[in-house]
C-alpha cells in the first residue's frame, strides 16, 4: 500500500476546504465593499445622496447583503441550523441567530418602514436605520477567522507534508535478468532494489550488496551521513550519498517508518483532548445563558430603556448575540493541540492522540525500562565461562541457533559473538519457544537447548550443584554491571555468557532533567538486582525494581493506578508491552520493537532519552497555552457581553452603545488573539531544567 498524499492534505485543509473558503471570502469582500460604502459613506461626509437617493441606497444594501448571505453565508447558516435542529449548540448557533435577527430587522425597516413608529424614522430621510453593514461584516469576519484557522493548520502541517514528499514514486527493481524502474506501490517485501547515488531510499530494508553514506537527519536529527554496509538497516525517506547499494525490501508502503510517522501525527492532530471535551461542555451551557441574556436585554431595554426604547432593545440584544459568539472558545483548545503535536513531530516525538499530549504533562510518576531504554540496546558478549564438556565455539553455535529466531537485544549480541568467531549455527532450531522477560528454548540437532536468566535456568531442572557454580561465577560479573545469561544443553549448564550494554549518552542528563521537572523515577528491569543497581546508580536513579517478569511490570503499573497516580511507562521491548498498555501514558523508543511502538501512546523516534523531558515540558507548555486561550476567550465574553447589553449607556450616554458591527469586529479580534497565541507554541523555548513554565 503506497503512501497517499490525499489524506494528509485533507487533514490540514490543503485540499478542498481551503479553495472553497478562499472563494467565499474573496466574493464576500467584493460584496462587502459596496455595502460599507453605501452604509457608511454619508457618515464619512461623502455626498452619496447627491446622486443616489436614500431609498435606493438602502434597497441596494438589501440586495447586496441578500446575495452575500445566500452565497458566502450558506455554509455558516447550514451549520447553525443543524446545531439548532440537533440540539448540539455551538458558535454557529449564535452567529445564525444574531445575523438572522439583524437581517430581518433591517429588511423590515427597508421594505415596510411604515411598520415602525414615527420615532424610528430618520427626520431627514424618513427611513428607518438598517444594520445590513453589520450582517455582511459578521459573515465576512467569520470567513476571515476560518481562513486564519485553515492557514494555521496548513502552516502547522507543512512539516508532515515535507515528510510525505520524501517518499519517491518509483523504485529500481533488481531481478535475475534486468533492472527496471517500477511504481512504488508495486514493490513488495522480499524484492531487491537498487539505490543509486543521490536517490531517496524507497522502503525500509537491509543492505545486501554495496556500501554508501546515508543522510538520516529526519530520523536521527544528526546532520552527518551514516555509513551503510552489508546487513545494515536503511529507512524509507532517507537520502543516499554518492555510493550505490542493493537492499532487500522488508517494510513497504504504510508499513514503513516514514508512513507510520505521518499516520500517527495525522491521527493525533485530529483527536480531541479531555480539556476540549470540557470546553465543549462549557460552550453547551454558555449558549443558552447568552440567549437568555439577549432576551433579558431586549425586555429590559423595552420596558426600562430610554425613548425610543425599541431600537435600543433590538440593537442591544443583537449586539449581545454577536459579541458572545464562542468562536474563540471553540478555537482555544484545538489550535493549541494542533500546533503542539506538529511541533513535537518536528522534534522527534510522536503522539498518537491529543489525550496523551495532555496527560503526559500532568503525571508525576515515571517508570522506565533498562535495556534498550536507559542502555544503548547494543549489548556485546564480553565473557564466556564454560561448565561442561562443550567448547566455547560449540556453546556459541548452539546459542546462536536458538537466538536467530529472537529479536531481543541479547539475542543480537549472541549472534554477533558467534559471527566474530566465524561460526555458523548448527542448524535452525525446532520447537522454538520464547518466554518474555525470562529466556528462549528449542531443539538444535536433536538436543534441548535453553538460554535465559537464573530463574529460567531453575525451570530447566538443571542439577543444584551446577546452578550453585553458575551463581558463584555470575556474582563478580554482575557487580561490574554486566548482564548474565546461561546456556543449558540437555538440562545441563553448558556455559555462562556475560553481556555488557553501555548506558546511552545523555541518559544521566535526561534523568536529572526528569527530576527537575518533579517526577519520581523508578527503573524496572528483568535483570538481576546487582546489575540493576550498577546501572541505576550510574544514571542517578534512586529507586529500581529488578528480576521482574512482564506480568510483574504490569502489576506495578496497576498498583500505581490504584494509589491514585498517573504512571508513565517508558520501554522498548516486547516484554514491556503489557506495562506500556496499562500505563496512563506509554512511551516507546523508536529504536525498539514494533510491538512496543504499536502499544505505546508516544514514540521517541530516535530512541533518544533526552527527548523525554522535552516531551513532558512541551505537554505542560501546551496545556498552559490552552489555559491562556480559554482565559482570553472567557475574559472577552465577561467584558464584552455587559457592554453589548448597554450597561454603560444609562451612565455614560448613547455613545457607549455597542452596535452589531462593532460587536462583530470584537468577536473576530478575540479569535485572532487565540490563534496568534496558539501559534506561539511553534517557536517558544522549552526549558527542561526547571519545573517552572514561561510562555
Buried b (16+ CB within 10 A) or exposed e, 372-392: bbbbbbebebeebbbbbebee
**What span, in angstroms and rounded, lies between the C-alpha atoms of 393 and 422?**
9
- How far is residue 78 from each of residues 331, 465, 671, 682, measured CA to CA in Å? 20, 82, 21, 34
217-226 contacts at long range (C-beta below 8 A, 24 or more positions apart): 218/163, 218/166, 219/257, 219/590, 219/605, 219/606, 220/606, 221/348, 221/606, 221/608
Look up residue 113 and give its DSSP letter.
G
For 180, phi then psi, to 5°, come to: -150, 155
- How far is residue 479 from each of residues 270, 357, 472, 473, 632, measured CA to CA in Å? 50, 39, 12, 11, 58
Residue 601: all three cell numbers together: 501512546
Name residue 641's beta-bridge partners: none
**What span, in angstroms and rounded, lies between the C-alpha atoms of 313 and 303?**
9
CB atoms within 10 A of CB 531: 27
Name residue 444's beta-bridge partners: 447
**What span, in angstroms and rounded, lies between the C-alpha atoms of 46 and 40?**
9
3-class secondary structure, 386: strand
**What span, in angstroms and rounded, lies between the C-alpha atoms of 679 and 684?**
9
Comparing CA positions, the residue from 210, 213, 215, 207 lying closest to residue 234 is 207
**What span, in angstroms and rounded, lies between the C-alpha atoms of 643 and 117?**
27
Active-site residue, from 369, 501, 527, 572? 369
CB atoms within 10 A of CB 567: 24
Name residue 618's beta-bridge partners: none
- CA angle (344, 345, 350) in 5-degree steps: 90
Look up residue 447 and give its DSSP letter.
E
**What span, in angstroms and rounded, lies between the C-alpha atoms of 653 and 410?**
82
- CA angle (581, 585, 588) in 5-degree steps: 70
Our answer to whether residue 369 is catalytic in this structure is yes
- How far is residue 528 from each of residues 313, 384, 385, 554, measured CA to CA in Å? 79, 18, 18, 18
List of residues 6+ apart from 299 with CB closer than 8 A: 313
Task: List residues with catalytic annotation.
Answer: 369
Amino acid at each position: 500500500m503506497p503512501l497517499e498524499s490525499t489524506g494528509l492534505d485533507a487533514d490540514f485543509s490543503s485540499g478542498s476546504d481551503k479553495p472553497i473558503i478562499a472563494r467565499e471570502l474573496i466574493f464576500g469582500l467584493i460584496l462587502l465593499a459596496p455595502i460599507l460604502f453605501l452604509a457608511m459613506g454619508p457618515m464619512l461626509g461623502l455626498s452619496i445622496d447627491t446622486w443616489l437617493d436614500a431609498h435606493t441606497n438602502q434597497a441596494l444594501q438589501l440586495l447586496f447583503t441578500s446575495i452575500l448571505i445566500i452565497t458566502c453565508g450558506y455554509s455558516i447558516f447550514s451549520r447553525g441550523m443543524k446545531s439548532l435542529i440537533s440540539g448540539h449548540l455551538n458558535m454557529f448557533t449564535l452567529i445564525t441567530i444574531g445575523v438572522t435577527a439583524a437581517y430581518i430587522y433591517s429588511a423590515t425597516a427597508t421594505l415596510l418602514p411604515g411598520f415602525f413608529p414615527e420615532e424610528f424614522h430618520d427626520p431627514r430621510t424618513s427611513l428607518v436605520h438598517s444594520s445590513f453593514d453589520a450582517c455582511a461584516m459578521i459573515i465576512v469576519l467569520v470567513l476571515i477567522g476560518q481562513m486564519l484557522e485553515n492557514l494555521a493548520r496548513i502552516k502547522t502541517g507543512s512539516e508532515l507534508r515535507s515528510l510525505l514528499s520524501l517518499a519517491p514514486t518509483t523504485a529500481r527493481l533488481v531481478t535475475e535478468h534486468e533492472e527496471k524502474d517500477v511504481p512504488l506501490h508495486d514493490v513488495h517485501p522480499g524484492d531487491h532494489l537498487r539505490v543509486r547515488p543521490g536517490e531517496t531510499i524507497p522502503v525500509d530494508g537491509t543492505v545486501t550488496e554495496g556500501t554508501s553514506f546515508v543522510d538520516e537527519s529526519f530520523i536521527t536529527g544528526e546532520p552527518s551521513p551514516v555509513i551503510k554496509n552489508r546487513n545494515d538497516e536503511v529507512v524509507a525517506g532517507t537520502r543516499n550519498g554518492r555510493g550505490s547499494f542493493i537492499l532487500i525490501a522488508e517494510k513497504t508502503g504504510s508499513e514503513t517508518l516514514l508512513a507510520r510517522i505521518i499516520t500517527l501525527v495525522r491521527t493525533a492532530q485530529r483527536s480531541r483532548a479531555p480539556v476540549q471535551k470540557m470546553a465543549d461542555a462549557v460552550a453547551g451551557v454558555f449558549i443558552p445563558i447568552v440567549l437568555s441574556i439577549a432576551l433579558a436585554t431586549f425586555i429590559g431595554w423595552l420596558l426600562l430603556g430610554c425613548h425610543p426604547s425599541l431600537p435600543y432593545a433590538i440593537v442591544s440584544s443583537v449586539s449581545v448575540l454577536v459579541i458572545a459568539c464562542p468562536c474563540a472558545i471553540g478555537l482555544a483548545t484545538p489550535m493549541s493541540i494542533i500546533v503542539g503535536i506538529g511541533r513535537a513531530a518536528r522534534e522527534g516525538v510522536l503522539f498518537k492522540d491529543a489525550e496523551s499530549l495532555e496527560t503526559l504533562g500532568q503525571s508525576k510518576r515515571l517508570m522506565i525500562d533498562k535495556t534498550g531504554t536507559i542502555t544503548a540496546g547494543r549489548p556485546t558478549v564480553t565473557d564466556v565461562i564454560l561448565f561442561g564438556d562443550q567448547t566455547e565455539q560449540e556453546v556459541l553455535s548452539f546459542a546462536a541457533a536458538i537466538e536467530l529466531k529472537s529479536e531481543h537485544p541479547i539475542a543480537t549480541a549472541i549472534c554477533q559473538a558467534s559471527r566474530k568467531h566465524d561460526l555458523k549455527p548448527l542448524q535452525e532450531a525446532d520447537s522454538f519457544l520464547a518466554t518474555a522477560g525470562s529466556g528462549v528454548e528449542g531443539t538444535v540437532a536433536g538436543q534441548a537447548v535453553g538460554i535465559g536468566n537464573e530463574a529460567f535456568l531453575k525451570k530447566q531442572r538443571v542439577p543444584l550443584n551446577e546452578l550453585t557454580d553458575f551463581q558463584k561465577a555470575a556474582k563478580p560479573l554482575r557487580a561490574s554491571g554486566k548482564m548474565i545469561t546461561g546456556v543449558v544443553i540437555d538440562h545441563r549448564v553448558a556455559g555462562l555468557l556475560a553481556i555488557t550494554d553501555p548506558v546511552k549518552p545523555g541518559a544521566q542528563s535526561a534523568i536529572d532533567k526528569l527530576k527537575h521537572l518533579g517526577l519520581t523515577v523508578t527503573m524496572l528491569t528483568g535483570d538481576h538486582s546487582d546489575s540493576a543497581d550498577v546501572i541505576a546508580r550510574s544514571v542517578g536513579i534512586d529507586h529500581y525494581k529488578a528480576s521482574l517478569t512482564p506480568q510483574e511490570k504490569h502489576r506495578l503499573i496497576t498498583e500505581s493506578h490504584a494509589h491514585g497516580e498517573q504512571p508513565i511507562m517508558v520501554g522498548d521491548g516486547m516484554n514491556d508491552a503489557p506495562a506500556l498498555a496499562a500505563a496512563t501514558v506509554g512511551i516507546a523508543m523508536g529504536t525498539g520493537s514494533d510491538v512496543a511502538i504499536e502499544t505505546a501512546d508516544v514514540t521517541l523516534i530516535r530512541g533518544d532519552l533526552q527527548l523525554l523531558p522535552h516531551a513532558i515540558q512541551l505537554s505542560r507548555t501546551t496545556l498552559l497555552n490552552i489555559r491562556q486561550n480559554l482565559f482570553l476567550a472567557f475574559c472577552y465574553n465577561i467584558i464584552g457581553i455587559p457592554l453589548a447589553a448597554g450597561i454603560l449607556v444609562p451612565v455614560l450616554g448613547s455613545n457607549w452603545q455597542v452596535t452589531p458591527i462593532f460587536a462583530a469586529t470584537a468577536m473576530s479580534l478575540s479569535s485572532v488573539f487565540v490563534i496568534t497565541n496558539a501559534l506561539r507554541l511553534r517557536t517558544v523555548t522549552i526549558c527542561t531544567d526547571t519545573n517552572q513554565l514561561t510562555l
